Structure 1
Amino acid sequence: MKVFNKVIVVTGAGGGIGRELVCQLLEKGARVAAILHKSGIEEIQSLSRVYGDKISTHMANIANRDDVEKLPEEIIASHGCIDGIINNAGILQQFLSVNDLDYEQIQRVMDVNFYGTLYMCKSFIPHLLNRPEAHISNVSSMGGFLPVPLQSIYSASKAAVKMLTEGLHLELRDTNVGVTIVFPGGVDTNLVRNSGIVLEGVDNHSYKMLSPNEAAAIIIKGMENKKYRVLAGNDAKIMDFLYRLNPKKATDIIAKKIKTL
């Protein structure tokens, strides 16, 4: 689905990949509904000085179903319709074992990463089905197919996003709604930098993470090309191949190559 003249909803729009998605979609001629929770509102709203009513901002906690269920009506009031959603918002857990995590932290990660994506899909699919052409892009993670040290709950939440998205693809395959699952590897965002992760390649050379700009471009290209599955970054591509070939070996490699706090 080409994004030109389409209305695209982006979650996690306040920073990182989300902010780049908003900017690049606008540059490509889309109308954008930017969903934010706590931060980034001023910077996103400043885009309205350039793009006018092509962008709208909406405050919502995607982990709150009531917040999410209000969004379609608000966005339709601003733009007249909804053609696509990019479920980009997500959070990491604390770098702790499952044994050391409390249930409140576990619940928060699942609420944002999995239930937030589920609430968005459930709330918007009825509207997408009414469009001549529509698309859902859900952002999982390399951690959605490969366990990451001391990120077991995060990985579980992103694996749940993977299976939800692949299930939606089956359910919607005979409709006008396309579905894409995205697996980014390491992306150089504040979220990752502040976590203390050090990513390296599978050889002995340091590996350069994707920039948010590069990751956003890959996600949009996947939507426009109606891709079923998108691997964003060489690390995601390499580890996907290795995990298919030998899951235990891939898990051993990632355990050795990722340093945690």
Structure 2
Amino acid sequence: MQLTNKTIVVTGAGSGIGQQLSMQLAQRGANVAGVDINATALGETGNLAGPAPGQFKGFRTDITDPEKVNALPAEVLAHFGSVDGIINNAGIIQPFRPVPELTMEEINRVMAVNFYGTIYVTRAFVPLLLTRPEAHIVNVSSMGGFLPVPGQTIYGAAKAAVKLFTEGLYAELKDTPVKVTVVFPGAIATNIMQNSGLNLPKADTAGESKFKPIAAAQAASEILRGMEKNQFRVVIGPDARAMDKLYRLSPRYAADLIQRKMRSLLG
């Protein structure tokens, strides 16, 4: 899908990949409806996105609240007049603890933001997308959505659910104007840990690794390229691409390898 003069909804637009997506979409001449729970962060994204050929408008919304999400399409339409695509990018990780040590409140929050938020936004906007000559849904899963990461089991389960949800949408919408892409980022240099309420190092300082986290700007660029090319799946980063291949060859070996890496990082 060509992005110029299109209106794209981006969740998690206040920081990280979502902020970069918003900026790069505006630079491509797309109008951007940035969605985030943090109004101040949305304002910062708006400042960074303009002036540009496209326009940016922030919409403070809690994507875990279905009533607020259901009201969002009308708000976006009132400002931009149409909606041509959504990028479900918002996400949080869990505390780095085994499942029995997590509270149900922590578990439910991770599922609500990563999985149910994606469902709510998708269901709210699909009726509008089906009326367009061409439209696109991009859902951001994770390397953890196809590979088990100890200490992030609930996060991985949520992102695995996003993976299959997106692939199912692809099949259901195959004969419509709506294209569907699922994204699997590896380590990206963002503030996801801080935004998840965790006092842990950012990805780009969390130990030595053969695979260094890539910049959020590069991740956003690869997502938009995949959107423009109507790719079925986009795997981002050398770590994600390597583990994607390894997991296909030997799931158990890949799981054991990640377990050893995480044990050495977290002690």
Change in 2 beyond 3 A, CA 1:200/1:228: farther
Mapping 1:96-175, distance limit 5 Å: 96-175=97-176
CA shift, 1:257, in A, is 2.0
Distance 1:192 1:126 in 2: 34
For 1:22, the equivalent position in structure 2 comes to 22
1:124/1:222 CA distance change after superposition, 3 Å: same
| Count of residue pairs the alignment pairs up | 257
The match for 1:191 is 192
Q: Secondary structure at the match of 2:170?
A: helix
Deviation of residue 140 (structure 1)? Answer: 0.2
Q: Report the Cα distance in structure 2 between the residues aligned to 1:148 and 1:32, rounded to whole angstroms.
A: 33
Change in CA separation of 1:182 and 1:64 when aligned onto 2, cut-off 3 Å = same
Corresponding residue for residue 248 of structure 1? 252
**1:229 matched residue in structure 2:** 233
1:236, 1:48 → 2: CA distance? 29
Given that 2:4 and 2:29 are in contact with CA atoms closer than 8 Å, whether structure 1 keeps it comes out as yes
Runs of 4+ aligned structure 1 residues displaced above 6 Å come to none
Superposition RMSD in Å: 1.7
* Equivalence for 1:239: 243
Offset at residue 47 of structure 1 (A): 4.5
Contact 1:199 1:257 in 2 (8 A): no
Contact 1:231 1:237 (C-alpha < 8 Å) held by counterparts: yes
Residue by residue over 1:172-230, the C-alpha shift from the partner in whole angstroms, topping out at 9 and shown as x without a partner, is 000000000000000011124754463665xxxx3211100000001101100000011
1:257 aligns with 2:258: no
Matched letter for residue 181 of structure 1: V
C-alpha displacement at 1:253, in angstroms?
1.0
State, as a whole percentage, how many aligned pairs show the same letter.
49
| Aligned residue in 2 for 1:34 | 34
Report the equivalent of 1:210.
214
User: What are structure 2's unaligned runs of at least 5 residues?
Assistant: none
**Secondary structure of the equivalent of 1:174?**
coil
Aligned equivalent of 1:10: 10
Give the Cα separation in 2 of the matches to 1:210 and 1:161.
Answer: 22
Structure 1 residues 85-119: Cα deviation after superposition (integer angstroms, max 9, x where no partner): 00000000001111000000000000000000000
Superposed counterparts of 1:62-81, under 5 Å: 62-81=63-82
> Aligned partners of 1:172 and 1:214: how far apart in 2?
29
2:128 is paired with a residue of what secondary structure? helix
| Counterpart residue type for residue 239 of structure 2 | D
1:63, distance to aligned residue in structure 2 (A): 0.7
Distance change (3 Å), C-alpha of 1:195 and 1:167: farther
**CA shift at 1:150, angstroms?**
0.5
Scaled by the length of structure 1, the TM-score of the pair is 0.94
C-alpha displacement of 1:27 = 0.6
- Segment drifting more, 49-58 vs 5-14: 49-58
Q: What are the ranges of 5 or more consecutive residues in structure 1 without an aligned counterpart?
A: none
Amino acid aligned to 2:16: G
Q: Secondary structure at the match of 1:254?
A: helix
Give the secondary structure class of the aligned counterpart of 2:137. Answer: strand
- Which string of whole-angstrom CA distances, capped at 9 and with x for unpartnered residues, describes residues 36-87 of structure 1? 1025022123247514982111000101111111110000111100000000
How far apart, CA to CA, are the structure 2 residues paired with 1:180 and 1:67?
A: 25
Normalising by structure 2, we get a TM-score of: 0.92
Shift of 1:2: 1.1
Q: Look up the equivalent residue of 1:82 and give its one-letter code.
A: V
Secondary structure, aligned partner of 1:130 = coil
